[in-house]
Amino acid sequence: MNISLATFVWPLTLYTFAALALVAASPSGFGEPTKTKEFPSQGATGEVRGSKANISTLVSAAARGDAPRVVALLGKGLDPNAEDDHGHTALVSAFAHLGVLKILLAAGARLDQPDGRRCTVLMMASSNGSCESHDFEHAREVPAAHVIDSIKFLLSLHPNVEATSFGGTPRGMTALEFAAAALQGSVGVNLLLDAGAKVEGPDCGARCRYGHENPALCRAAEAGNTGAVTALLTAGANKETKLCLSDTTPLIVAAKSGRADTVRVLLAAGANIEGRDRFGLFNANAPITSRLNYATALIWAVREGKIEVVKILLEAGASIWTTDHWGNCALDIARSKKREDIVELMVNSANRN
């Protein structure tokens, strides 16, 4: 029996739910005939069924993709929307396990309900498990195909793609902004764009006033996700969009992070090579005089010792004489850091020009 995605847009009967559990648990997608089992009826809205210890067990089973265990625990009357002691819910924890997602949704898990750390299951899938920590360099080791399958399924149920998280720093990120940083390639980003996600995110100005705006293009540039950068530019992303409180453009972010291929893509798209940031040291608690920076992409690449990016920027015509807030140009900085290899590159570039 094939289970279509449309099956989940209306409440399933108890017999259909039991059949679904078999499908999810079977490697081939089909279960052996067995007796169906009725599950306890849903409690009142907001009611938590089951102790915290039992909820933790459910969350753990969901995170492992243990469909039979999830079915057994739900059969004992556990609330699929309850949070464990750490604020995790079973649905959000099961982001990479399609079969378990279907079981939980059929049991009454709410698609757009964030967990205690304000992450929805779509955000968690789009961030490949890093929604709560925002640590994209250490996203969970989950096969990309599994995460993409989850995103496709979740989007078929029409979730709120513009919902924002509030669980960490930076706050207020959308699923698209998570995907741009955490999912290499353009597939996840394109799926979300096709589902109606806004390329610049919802109400950027309001989020920026609170320091929460993190444009998807900047996130993709920082991660070196060139496929996502290309997809976002194609969808109309502003190549000069800026991170809040810093005026840091995608080109500066990519240069600082040493993302050579991304730097090439942004330059080819016409990014301003002489654009400068404002609060480049990212220390909001420091005195205003020590926060002012005004560094270009070249200055940042030199500061961080990203020699390949330095070469690309020089070949594209970046000025070595533009100064930062302290009056230091890229050549001054290279000399102060005793990077003779970079000094030689810049002197040769100046002689050619």
Q: What is the pLDDT of residues 258-291, one digit of tens each?
A: 999 999 999 999 999 999 887 544 444 544 444 4
- What integer pLDDT is reported at residue 124 of this predicted model? 92
The C-alpha atoms of residue 278 and residue 26 are separated, in whole angstroms, by 55
Q: Is the pLDDT of residue 31 over 60?
A: no
How far are the Cα atoms of 14, 182, 219, 300 from residue 177, in angstroms, in the given order?
37, 9, 7, 23
And the tokens for 293? 């920076």
With pLDDT > 70 as the criterion, what percentage of the chain qualifies? Answer: 73
Q: Are 312 and 264 in contact (CB under 8 A)?
A: yes
Q: Is the pLDDT of residue 163 over 80?
A: yes
CB 92 within 8 A of CB 127: no
Q: Would you call the peptide bond into 170 cis, given omega within 30 degrees of 0 as the criterion?
A: yes
**Better pLDDT: 317 or 182:** 317
Confidence of residue 347 (pLDDT cuts 50, 70, 90): very high
pLDDT for 23 beyond 50: no
Q: Which fold has domain 1-110?
A: 1.25.40
If one counts every other C-beta atom within 10 angstroms of the C-beta of residue 157, the result is 15
Which tens digits make up the pLDDT trace of 172-182? 788 999 999 88
Tell me which architecture the domain covering 245-353 has in CATH: Alpha Horseshoe (1.25)
Q: Where in the chain is the domain with CATH 1.25.40.20?
A: 1-110, 115-237, 245-353
pLDDT class for 168, splitting at 50, 70, 90? very low
Angle at 11 between CA 10 and CA 12, to 5 degrees: 110
Q: Average pLDDT, stretch 57-70?
A: 95
Q: How many helices (H) and strands (E) would you count in the chain?
A: 19, 0
Q: Which of 22, 43, 42 is nearest to 33 (CA)?
A: 22
Q: For position 7, what pLDDT does the model report?
A: 41
CB 232 within 8 Å of CB 216: yes
CA distance 109 to 92: 10
Share of the chain above pLDDT 90, in %: 55
Is residue 32 pLDDT above 80, yes or no? no
> In the predicted model, what is the mean pLDDT of residues 224-249?
88
Q: Where are the beta strands (DSSP E) in the chain?
A: none
Q: What is the pTM (predicted TM-score) of this model?
A: 0.79
| 28, pLDDT greater than 70 | no
Residue 336 has pLDDT above 70, yes or no: yes
Tell me which residue has tokens 């079977």: 26
pLDDT(66) > 90 = yes
For 90-141, what is each residue's pLDDT tens digit?
999 999 999 999 999 999 999 999 998 788 999 999 988 888 664 545 445 6
> What is the distance between the alpha carbons of residues 21 and 35, in angstroms, rounded to a whole number?
12
The whole-angstrom separation of Cα 232 and Cα 237 is: 5
pLDDT of 18 strictly over 50: no
More confident residue, 173 or 64: 64
Q: Which CATH number fits domain 115-237: 1.20.120.1200, 3.40.50.300, 3.40.50.720, 1.25.40.20?
A: 1.25.40.20
51 DSSP 8-state letter? -
Average pLDDT of the residues of the chain: 80
pLDDT of residue 30: 31
